[in-house]
Amino acid sequence: MGVSGIATAARLRRAGWRPVLIEKAPRRRSGGYFVALFGAGQAAAKRLGMVDAIHDRASMTRGLDLDRAGSSRPGMSYADMPGKPWLMLRSDVEKAAFSVLPDDVEIRYSTVPTAIEQDADGVDVTLLDTASDTTTTERFDLVVGADGLRSTVRSLVFGPHEKYLRRMNYMVAAFQYTGTPAGLAPGQGATLLEPDRSLWVFAFSDHDPTVMLTYRTDDVDAEFTRSPAERVRAAFGPKPLGNVLGDVIDALESADDVLFDSVEQVRLDSWHRGRVVLMGDAAWCVTLYAGMGVSSGLTGADLLGGMLERHPGDVGAALSAWERALRPYVGHYQDGAFADRRIFVADNRAQLLLRRTMPLLSRFKAGKRLADRIMRLEEIAVYKNADIVGALLTGPPERTIVGGTA
Ligand SMILES: Cc1cc2nc3c(=O)[nH]c(=O)nc-3n(C[C@H](O)[C@H](O)[C@H](O)COP(=O)(O)OP(=O)(O)OC[C@H]3O[C@@H](n4cnc5c(N)ncnc54)[C@H](O)[C@@H]3O)c2cc1C
């Protein structure tokens, strides 16, 4: 019952299927932090009927680029990203997806799959109800594993996590800040960028900000041996933290709901096997640096419904057409995530300097062209902001999109 799973169930119900949603947690997981919804995700959200339930929360207040010593200058916020994505909270998208889920879709909380066996006609799934400690085996026509980065469906059907997870050697701590961080005005975002580590305050026009601290590490496993705040303090080193960073790390220490994880991609040669298909982060986690996690999850859900409608009675053909259409885009997000990472956390002072000169560069024609190239403006327009599956969903059946052209 992440965004991808709820959206898939809603779309498949509309396509005439009777989905059963399985969630490990005892209730909905409505929490969340900052997410961006690029044009591709907006188009999918529109077709899924959930676009009216979300809105762009981008703040108009100019963000600040801070340092620990207390100096600040006008900075670049995520709202200034090329493509002008809508900014919101993950919880906004989760609620919107849930709002279009018909009441007759069965939901089972505290339930996990423990075995998945398939033949040509169906899939036998053994489900453990962790609340009552009971196990049942049921047969399904299709299994969609939308169970996130460390997917159980993937490990049961495709093999162990180690085969598919690619660590980027960065950590992220994200949480909601209550109120306004010290030194900032309400609705004002900020960045504090240093080589290999950074702080981002994502401000919204009508909601408290969320905070992200991200840093490079050589030993991901060691990161999980102490509390997030302790690890973050260690990553930022012994130099005095200053007003904003100090305040934010104090808030991290007492925050109730902290996302603290290593940044990892999921790479598989195929997202489906027989009647089992992976969706969203379980299949392709592009990482937060690509900014396309929610957008690609919604697009995948929308397209899967469309392809199942187009290939009635032939799940294999539907899944193949689905993957063929989506893979060039998702591959692009994954490959681009390594360069996009530098937007969030730079490698060295030279990159930071380049980034700081971007607003100045953009004032001149030649400089703007260079800045656009560095920010990969054209690629964003084609891959992230376009309705990447719209032509396939509305065009004649034989049309297939490969590599961004129809
Ligand atoms: C700091 C941060 C910033 C981000 N920023 C962006 C952004 O700007 N833009 C963007 O598009 N994306 C962003 N993302 C990523 C985005 O939140 C996800 O990629 C997106 O929500 C898709 O998730 P999903 O539904 O596929 O998986 P998940 O959200 O992980 O959902 C999986 C669900 O499956 C359940 N589950 C797990 N295991 C089992 C099991 N064994 N049995 C039953 N249920 C199970 C989980 O409880 C969960 O409900 C960001 C992520 C982070 C950490």
Task: Determine the angle formed by the axes of helices 293-310 and 3-14, rounding to 10 degrees.
Answer: 20
Could you tell me the two tokens for 57? 């929360």
pLDDT 10s digits, 293-303: 999 999 999 99
pLDDT at position 406 is: 35
The Å distance, Cα 296 to ligand 1 centre, comes to 11
Residue at 76 is within a domain:
no
**Contacting residues for 64 by C-beta, under 8 A, at least 6 apart:** 72, 73, 74, 75, 184, 188, 189, 190, 191
Q: Answer yes or no: do 25 and 152 share one domain.
A: yes
Residue 6 Cβ inside 6 Å of ligand 1? The answer reads: no
Structurally, the chain folds into a number of domains equal to 2
Three-class SS state of 274: coil
Q: Answer yes or no: do 172 and 247 share one domain.
A: yes
pLDDT at position 137 is: 98
**What is the residue with the minimal CA distance to atom 4 of ligand 1?**
288
Q: Quick one: CA torsion of 284, 153, 7, 173, rounded to 10 degrees?
A: -60
Q: Answer yes or no: do 153 and 170 share one domain.
A: no
Q: Answer yes or no: do 196 and 257 share one domain.
A: yes
pLDDT at position 404 is: 42
Contact 359, 76 (CB under 8 A): yes
Residue at 348 is within a domain:
no
- Which ligand 1 atom lies nearest to the CA of residue 147? 34
The Å distance, Cα 301 to ligand 1 centre, comes to 14
Q: Answer yes or no: do 196 and 245 share one domain.
A: yes
Residue at 141 is within a domain:
yes
Q: Answer yes or no: do 114 and 255 share one domain.
A: no
Find how far residue 400's CA is from the centre of its chain: 26
pLDDT 10s digits, 70-116: 999 988 878 877 778 999 999 999 999 999 999 999 999 999 999 99
pLDDT at position 375 is: 74
The Å distance, Cα 241 to ligand 1 centre, comes to 31
The Å distance, Cα 3 to ligand 1 centre, comes to 7
Ordered DSSP codes for 12-52: HHHTT---EEE-SSSS------EEEE-HHHHHHHHHTT-GG
Residue at 73 is within a domain:
no
**What is the residue with the minimal CA distance to atom 29 of ligand 1?**
2
Domain boundary among 341, 359, 378: 341
How far the first Cα of the chain sits from its last, in Å, is 32
Distance CA 68, CA 193 (A): 10
Closest C-alpha among 400, 309, 329, 305 to residue 39 = 329
Residue 12 Cβ inside 6 Å of ligand 1? The answer reads: no
> Could you tell me the residue range of the domain that residue 137 belongs to?
3-56+87-165+265-341
**What is the residue with the minimal CA distance to atom 37 of ligand 1?**
147
Residue at 259 is within a domain:
yes
Q: Which of 20, 23, 87 to mutate to test the pocket of ligand 1 (most atoms within 8 A of CB)?
A: 23
Q: Answer yes or no: do 336 and 192 share one domain.
A: no
Residue at 103 is within a domain:
yes
Query: Between the CA of residue 285 and those of 168, 215, 292, 387, 398, what are the distances in Å?
Result: 12, 19, 9, 20, 29
The Å distance, Cα 25 to ligand 1 centre, comes to 13
Residue at 399 is within a domain:
no
Q: Answer yes or no: do 177 and 229 share one domain.
A: yes
**What is the residue with the minimal CA distance to atom 36 of ligand 1?**
147
Domain boundary among 341, 359, 390: 341
**Which residues on adjacent β-strands are paired with residue 405?**
402
pLDDT at position 356 is: 82
pLDDT at position 75 is: 86
pLDDT at position 362 is: 72
**What is the residue with the minimal CA distance to atom 27 of ligand 1?**
148
Distance CA 131, CA 320 (A): 37
The Å distance, Cα 79 to ligand 1 centre, comes to 22
Angle at 164 between CA 170 and CA 309, to 5 degrees: 115
Q: Answer yes or no: do 221 and 207 share one domain.
A: yes
Q: What is the CATH number of the domain that holds 329?
A: 3.50.50.60
pLDDT 10s digits, 244-256: 999 999 999 999 8
pLDDT at position 191 is: 95
The Å distance, Cα 183 to ligand 1 centre, comes to 32
Q: Answer yes or no: do 190 and 237 share one domain.
A: yes
Residue at 213 is within a domain:
yes
Q: Answer yes or no: do 106 and 153 share one domain.
A: yes
Q: Which of 116, 204, 281, 304 to mutate to test the pocket of ligand 1 (most atoms within 8 A of CB)?
A: 281
Q: For the chain, which ranges sit under pLDDT 70?
A: 397-406
Q: Answer yes or no: do 182 and 235 share one domain.
A: yes
pLDDT at position 136 is: 98
pLDDT at position 395 is: 77
